[in-house]
Amino acid sequence: MKTDPHHARNRIYFYPELMKIATRTALMYALITAGILFVFAYVLYFVSEKNRNDEFNDRLGYKIIWRAEFIFDANIDGNKIKKLHERNKKMLNEADISVYNSKKELIFTDIRPSSKNMYYLDQLIKTKKDKLTWQRGNRQYMAFRYEFNGDNFYIIGSAVDVTGLAHIKEFRNDIIVVYIISVLIIFVIGFLFSYYTLKPLKDIIVQIRDISEHNLHKRLVVPKAKDEIYELTETFNSTFNRLEKSFSNHLQFVTTISHEFRTPLSTPDCRAGTCQRTECDAGRL
């Protein structure tokens, strides 16, 4: 039964083999692009986080110096300083500081000092650096020397960048949402691109399936653009030309043989009769 090429062309797009190629190509394209986007998004987030951290460290240094100058210059009772600090901390996010003298003895603190303070204080003294910075969780720390009336003091301050962390968290969530949407869009675009790229091949398959021994004279439609599809179509048409010629020669050979087999056997019978008569005539002689 002959297949209607129009209906076959409509059905060929849903063959799983061809759809698998389009899907595989789209997935590969999406994975490669998603990997590039992931690296870009990670670098963007990493740079943003580093800039936030550096900027807050600068502000933290100013906050610690301001607190230190207030403590040493104001000559106010420590308890009053703590009360003022607690009041301002709610509005200004002031830094909590701990002050040590040259003997590393704690002389003032806003909060209970961290167990790691002495370690970083020793590092500051040994390395003779102007300041040290580190981070534990969301809290950022800074330690540096402070000179007052010819005496050396060591100050360790810490604070949490509440506003900056909130902004960077929101920025991270935005990056994740944009990344997921971008990957989905890239997959759809890649699938459509693969689908329409393979469409000429699907059309060739439809035309080839429509050619049988009853219509070997049919040929594939040659595209106008002389690209790889054009070369493939020309190759198929050349193959069909040779196939048609071979099929014609085969039919001619079969026809000739059939004609020979259909010829009456009168000639061999006549020859046999002639031989018999010749033998009889020879016997009479």
The two tokens of residue 216 are: 């070997």
Instruction: Give the pLDDT confidence score for residue 95 in this predicted structure.
Output: 80
Can you tell me the mean pLDDT for 45-67? 90
Q: Is the confidence at residue 280, as pLDDT, over 50?
A: no
Angle CA 147–153–158, to nearest 5? 110
Q: Would you say residue 2 lies in a domain?
A: no
Q: Would you say residue 221 lies in a domain?
A: yes
Instruction: Give the pLDDT confidence score for residue 243 in this predicted structure.
Output: 82
In this predicted model, what pLDDT tens digit does every residue of 135-189 receive, in sequence order? 988 889 999 888 888 888 899 998 889 889 999 999 999 999 999 999 999 988 9
Q: Would you say residue 268 lies in a domain?
A: yes
Residue 154: Cβ-neighbour burial (10 angstroms; 0-12, 13-18, 19+): buried
Q: Is the confidence at residue 63, as pLDDT, over 80?
A: yes
Instruction: Give the pLDDT confidence score for residue 80 in this predicted structure.
Output: 58
In this predicted model, what pLDDT tens digit does every residue of 196-243 receive, in sequence order? 888 888 888 888 888 877 787 788 888 888 888 888 888 888 888 888
In this predicted model, what pLDDT tens digit does every residue of 5-25 receive, in sequence order? 444 444 444 444 445 777 888
Q: Which residue carries 């059905």 as its tokens?
A: 11
Q: Would you say residue 206 lies in a domain?
A: no
Q: Would you say residue 275 lies in a domain?
A: yes
Picking from 19-23, 83-87, 155-159, 271-275, which range would have the lowest pLDDT averaged per residue? Answer: 271-275
Picking from 63-67, 190-194, 259-263, which range would have the lowest pLDDT averaged per residue? Answer: 259-263
Q: Is the confidence at residue 262, as pLDDT, over 70?
A: no
Q: Is the confidence at residue 115, as pLDDT, over 70?
A: yes
Q: Would you say residue 120 lies in a domain?
A: no
Q: Would you say residue 228 lies in a domain?
A: yes
Q: What is the number of domains present in the chain?
A: 1
Percent of the chain residues past pLDDT 70, beyond the cut: 77
CA 38 to chain centre: 7
Range of the domain at 270: 214-285
Instruction: Give the pLDDT confidence score for residue 24 in this predicted structure.
Output: 82
Q: Is the confidence at residue 32, as pLDDT, over 50?
A: yes
Q: Would you say residue 85 lies in a domain?
A: no
d(Cα 171, Cα 182) in Å, to the nearest integer?
Answer: 16
Torsion over CA: 110, 113, 117, 121 (sign): positive
